[in-house]
Amino acid sequence: MKMQSMTGIERLTKQEVIELTKQTKETVATNLFQYEKIFTLADMWNIRRQGRRFSTRRNNAQL
């Protein structure tokens, strides 16, 4: 059974294995997704909501 399933795979020589496993130098691309964030109405709403939440905590702490 094992011999039948391995007949389609070609064996690699020692030199081919060395060539295929040779380490290559890689660089990381850091500028792929650079864009300016647009300040939206949702951002403004979140800032206002966080401010209201903080002020209610501050007022409740003084009671």
Supply the DSSP symbol for 9: S
**Could you tell me if 45 and 37 are in contact, meaning their C-beta atoms sit under 8 angstroms apart?**
no
What values do phi and psi take at 11, rounded to 5?
A: -75, 145
- Cα separations in angstroms, 14 against 17, 18, 52, 63: 5, 6, 69, 79
Residues of the chain with pLDDT > 70: what percent?
71
pLDDT, tens only, 6-29: 566 678 888 988 888 887 777 777
Tell me the domain boundaries of the chain: 37-63
Query: How far is Cα 34 from Cα 37, in angstroms, rounded to an integer?
Result: 9
Query: Which tokens hold the place of 63?
Result: 């009671």
Q: Does the reported pTM lie above 0.85?
A: no
